Chain A
Amino acid sequence: MSEEEFDCVVIGAGCAGPAAAKKAAELGLKVVLLEKSLAPGTKNVSGTCLNTAALIDPDLHYIMEGPVEREIKEIRMHHITPDRSTIIHEIPTGGILLLSIRRDHFDAWHTEQARKAGAEVKLGTTVVDIIEDIDYVKGVVTDKGDIYYGKVIIDAAGVNSIVGRKAGLIPKRTGTNMILYVTVNVELGKEVIDERFGDCIEYYLAPGIQYKTWPWIFPKNEVVTLGTGGYMDENLINEEFPSINTYMENFLNLPLVKEKLEGGKIVAWGLHLEYDEPIEKRVKNGLILTGEAGGFVIPFLGEGMPEAFFTGIYAAKAAKEAIEADDLSEEKLNETYEDLLQQNTFMQSFWYVGKENKESILTKTDREISEMMQNVIISGGFITNVVHNKWMKGAEEEDIELVKEGYDFLEFIQPYRQVASDFNEIYKKRRSQ
């Protein structure tokens, strides 16, 4: 048993943890990053594609230097009913939409960046408890009984983080707040993937393959990853679907999918929980929750990794200011943290779009969802759907304010609708270094 003191103790080497540890070290703080597995990115992580609209933020430019599996440039949407299959193939002009990554490779690289910046990294180190003293979180205890004291503890330990749970910030979550989903990785080899998928991600909606979510296939270098699942309410598991795997089995055996996976082999299977609501309180005296631990994920829109990077970085900045001011209180930490979150257009717009679309999904029948999804696909995605819904509702209720709200939002997100050329330029420069 040992005891050590740091300015910052960061728990979890997924997306948020290395970002926080790197930034904290760059800001001159003495920081340690604790990871329970022997290699970063090998615990219960999810997230396979990075949204380039987030990476153009200068805080995230360095992320472009990480190991990339595939540069995603196209999207195919498959809408399948017993009567017909509708496939929309969208090819935006000249831009990389997403960067497909492998989490074991990427998180290991990211952790190495934190180490190079000056953070101490401890792998195979499981945090099982926190130390609190007069309402302040002061440190964490590992399964070996070692104690790491920190002026500020940054929790980046994921959806079920024991740090956030022990601190009373992470509650139990089910029903329409939590998504349970399964992934499988099918090895096909690079050449076959190039031919059958290319640099294109695919979404599917079909009977029996999802529960109020949308299944996807993301190509990597040698494998493709498939994911599906649904909200954890009383209808997710039933006689017809005794396990979440039933949805996946149906997905794999959908004729269109089956054909594309012909000759492939399942090399990995995964199971994940994702929280679909912001956590009420993300900061406590001496403690900041980031990434999935803080509920900064929008699984409905397939968003999560950039939010984790951002919140990790912002937590480190908040820690630095609090330590300098010698005030580690919730108020002080929250002041900087909330301010940075509020300024982030990418995150604000995704929260807004996620919330609006989730509301319309949960109140609709499966048939209505199918119709809405078709509209979403044809009319250019979830952002348009929000604006369209506001407009229609405003017309119906004769309330011009609703129409204005939709229009204002469209204006607000303009900078993020045309990022391709900016991104490509920065990306090219970063990759050539």
Chain B
Amino acid sequence: MKFEIVVDFYPGDTGEFIKVNEENCTGCGMCAKFCTRDVWVQYDVIYRPSNLKQCVECGACWNVCEYNAVIFSEPAGGTGVKFTYG
């Protein structure tokens, strides 16, 4: 069966709800490794959540970051990923 990733999003600006603390980031890449949505992109050494629009808010990057470099807040009210079935 053809595997498709079908994701809905609410319209509207989520704001930068995931950010990187560049001073803390060591470039270990754990955030990118566990991100299923390719949100994290490497620039020289450090990683930035450049593709935040693709994020489904699972929080894997925040959990795996041992250096407290991932700042994980919430999208603005009524925006961000939209799931249906659970």
Task: Enumerate chain A interface residues (CB-CB to B < 8 A).
Answer: 36-38, 41-48, 101-104, 106, 123-128, 142-144, 159-160, 162, 172-174, 178, 180, 182-186, 220, 223, 225, 232, 236-237, 243-245, 248-249, 252-253, 257-258, 261, 264, 266-273
Instruction: Give the residue name and chain of the A residue nearest to B75 (CB).
Output: A126
Known: A232-B60, A269-B4. A48 touches B85 (CB 8 A): yes
Task: Enumerate chain B interface residues (CB-CB to A < 8 A).
Answer: 1-8, 10, 15, 33-34, 36-37, 56-60, 62-65, 72-78, 80-86
> How far, in angstroms, from A21 to B31 measured CA to CA in the complex?
35
Pairs A–B under 8 Å by Cβ, sample size 25: A36-B74, A36-B77, A36-B78, A36-B80, A37-B82, A38-B10, A41-B86, A43-B82, A44-B81, A48-B86, A124-B78, A143-B74, A143-B77, A159-B59, A160-B63, A162-B73, A232-B60, A236-B34, A245-B5, A245-B36, A266-B6, A268-B7, A268-B8, A268-B84, A272-B58
Tell me whether A271 and B36 are in contact (CB under 8 A). yes
Which residues from chain A contact B56 at a C-beta distance below 8 Å? Answer: 44, 270-271
A51 to chain B, nearest CB (A): 15
A207 to chain B, nearest CB (A): 18
Tell me whether B78 and A123 are in contact (CB under 8 A). yes
Tell me whether B3 and A252 are in contact (CB under 8 A). yes
Tell me whether B58 and A37 are in contact (CB under 8 A). no
> How far, in angstroms, from A188 to B33 measured CA to CA in the complex?
33
> How far, in angstroms, from A244 to B36 measured CA to CA in the complex?
7
Known: A37-B82, A38-B10. A180 touches B1 (CB 8 A): no
Which residue of B3, B8, B63, B74 is within 8 Å of A266 (Cβ)?
B3
> How far, in angstroms, from A382 to B36 measured CA to CA in the complex?
31
Top 8 closest A-B pairs, CB basis? A103-B86, A124-B78, A160-B59, A126-B77, A124-B77, A252-B1, A249-B3, A38-B78
Tell me whether A43 and B81 are in contact (CB under 8 A). yes
Which residue of A162, A174, A186, A268 is within 8 Å of B64 (Cβ)?
A174
> How far, in angstroms, from A104 to B2 measured CA to CA in the complex?
26
Most A-side CB within 10 Å, residue of B2, B8, B76, B84: B84
B7 to chain A, nearest CB (A): 6
Known: A48-B85, A223-B85, A237-B33. A160 touches B72 (CB 8 A): yes
Which residues from chain B contact A43 at a C-beta distance below 8 Å? Answer: 57, 80-83
Which residues from chain B contact A182 at a C-beta distance below 8 Å? Answer: 36
